[in-house]
Amino acid sequence: MTTVALTEHTASIAATTVKRLPLKLIRSRIQHLNIQVADLDDMSSAYRRAKRLSFDITLCVGQHTNDNDLSFYATTPTRFEWELGWNPTVIDETTWQPSTHQGISIWGHTPEGQTNIDELHQFRLGATSRLHREDTVPALSGPGIADN
């Protein structure tokens, strides 16, 4: 996984491969949105509340390799994933360099309650996405956008 920082956190944008397959095999889209909370109690309370309200917990609590963030992933009713995290590494923009990591987690972030049918559904979504033309934004498809 390669990350690019646009903020003081290490993973504003991340590109990854899945079992040696480039991510572009699956139609491009935002996979999830990360929201940071102020303290660990906020994250653990949100996790318990999401479970109590029967949200689909996509990945249970775990710790990321790139920023040591503790987080969990859930799926909204519209099937968009959100990640709720706490305490990521804060970087110094003047010295930080992009980096590559083996895997997304030091521990945890394992699927919770996922069945074989769920995995087949995910595969079907990825396979059928190849049948649709992907929209691009020309201004964002070039060599990059200058900071100033």
The confidence score (pLDDT) of residue 29 equals 61
Tell me if 103 sits within 8 A of 65, measured CB to CB: yes
Q: Could you give the count of Cα atoms lying within 13 Å of 58 in the half-sphere of its Cβ?
A: 16
Secondary element (H or E) of residue 57 = strand 56-64
Average pLDDT in the 87-105 region?
A: 84
In a domain, 138, yes or no: no
In a domain, 112, yes or no: yes
Residue 51 domain flag: yes
Is residue 125 domain-resident? yes
Q: Cα–Cα distances in Å, from 24 out to 20, 21, 35, 99, 137?
A: 12, 8, 25, 20, 16
Task: Determine the structural domain holding residue 67 and report its residue range.
Answer: 2-130
Residue-level pLDDT at 85? 95
Report if residue 141 sits inside a domain: no
Total domain count, the chain = 1
Whether the CB-CB separation of 43 and 99 falls below 8 Å is answered with no
Q: What is the pTM of this model?
A: 0.67
Work out the mean pLDDT of the chain and round it to a whole number: 78
Considering the domain boundaries, does residue 92 fall inside one? yes
The CATH number of whichever domain residue 93 belongs to comes to 3.10.180.10
For residue 72, tell me if it sits in a domain: yes
Distance CA 90, CA 71 (A): 15
Distance CA 17, CA 101 (A): 11
Indicate whether 135 belongs to any domain.
no
Q: Average pLDDT, stretch 58-84?
A: 90
